Amino acid sequence: MKSKKINTNSELDSRILVTGSAGFIGYHLCKSLLNDGFIVYGVDNINSYYDPALKQARLDQLQSHPNFSFNKLDISNSDDLNKAFENFKPQKVVNLAAQAGVRYSLENPQAYIESNVVGFMNILECCRHHDVEGLIYASSSSVYGGNEKIPFSVDDRVDRPISIYAATKKSNELMAHSYSHLFGLNTTGLRFFTVYGPWGRPDMAMYIFADKISKGEPIQVFNHGKMERDFTYIDDIINGTRAAIDKNYPYEVFNLGNNNSEDLMEMVGLIESEIGEKAEIQFEGMQPGDVKRTFADIKHSQEKLNYTPTTKIVEGIPKFIEWYLEYSSNK
């Protein structure tokens, strides 16, 4: 679908700054916004947490669009970020830049503080001082920690994180609330649940499993396979994020999940079926910082965002595998 031409008089009403624009969710969000005629300014540091070539491949697709501009910068650098806000003058900001991954936060916690806490503080300050109408930011299902009440509701207590990554994401929600209260900045946090789909992250289990199964290498399955995840397809995540952008709530937090908890071994079986190879499985114990089950209660998101996920894993995994096989064959 070709992008609509922007009317010059309404340009300031259509300008969205997206951090993490070379990332998985960021790429898909930018693409969706551009297709609907928005002017998008992408920011990303293109770090090497996972293969920068994948990030660049996503970015290459966006940069062919006339309404997309990009600035390679780190949100932890307040001067560079402030200049980007000054130059672009965004109406709204979507912060998807973060150091991701629960397990890596055990090895390099400092990276999480720099990006997810210092960087987020810089985002809040820039939004405050540049008259941004609203900030939408990525939180995470990891804020629920070891909660045993299922499904996870936004009304549940989330003050006992079990990883540094989760702690930084909860801190984002607290910092956003402070800025909403003190300075009238509209903020909306989105707790994403296990997002998957084409152009997905190579550090996520679904990608790792697909890669190893296709190469005939063994896969590690933790907690002896007794894990459940609320796998949520990227298109549903983008629909929920777009709905949040369209609103102007003073302060909100929403779950964006599939409202279903799927058995990890069912996911493995679907990957095996699509690739046409049987997995060699090495069952392992539970990993520090990990949880046995996630399951999103999405009533609040349905009521205030009209969010209704539509993609089941039996439909979504084949789409992911189709993309993975094509992408890996062209690397």
pLDDT tens, residue by residue, 136-183: 999 999 999 989 999 999 999 999 999 999 999 999 999 999 999 999
Pairing of strands 195-196, 232-233: parallel
Cβ of 312: how many Cβ atoms within 10 Å?
A: 13
Assigned CATH topology for domain 10-196+232-259+294-310: Rossmann fold (3.40.50)
Helices (H) and strands (E) in the chain, counts: 12, 13
Residues with a known catalytic role: 165
Domain ranges of the chain: 10-196+232-259+294-310
Pairing of strands 281-283, 219-221: parallel
Cite the beta strand spans of the chain per DSSP E: 15-19, 39-44, 68-72, 92-95, 134-140, 186-192, 195-196, 219-221, 228-229, 232-233, 251-256, 262-263, 281-283
CA 192 to chain centre: 6
Q: Is residue 11 over pLDDT 80?
A: no
pLDDT digits (tens, 9 = 90+) for 170-180: 999 999 999 99
Positive or negative, the CA dihedral 164, 194, 44, 38 is negative
Q: Is residue 218 over pLDDT 70?
A: yes
Which region holds residue 20: left if phi is over 0, alpha if psi is between -120 and 50, else beta?
Answer: left
Structure tokens at 30: 């930018």
CA dihedral 185, 186, 190, 191 (to 10 degrees): 60
Whether the pTM exceeds 0.85: the reply is yes
Q: How far apart are CA 51 and CA 56, in angstroms?
A: 9
Positive or negative, the CA dihedral 62, 142, 180, 256 is positive
Cβ of 158: how many Cβ atoms within 10 Å?
A: 20
Mean pLDDT, the chain, rounded, equals: 93
Q: Is residue 256 over pLDDT 90?
A: yes
pLDDT digits (tens, 9 = 90+) for 266-313: 999 999 999 999 999 999 998 887 888 999 999 999 999 999 999 999
Q: How far apart are CA 26 and CA 269, in angstroms?
A: 29
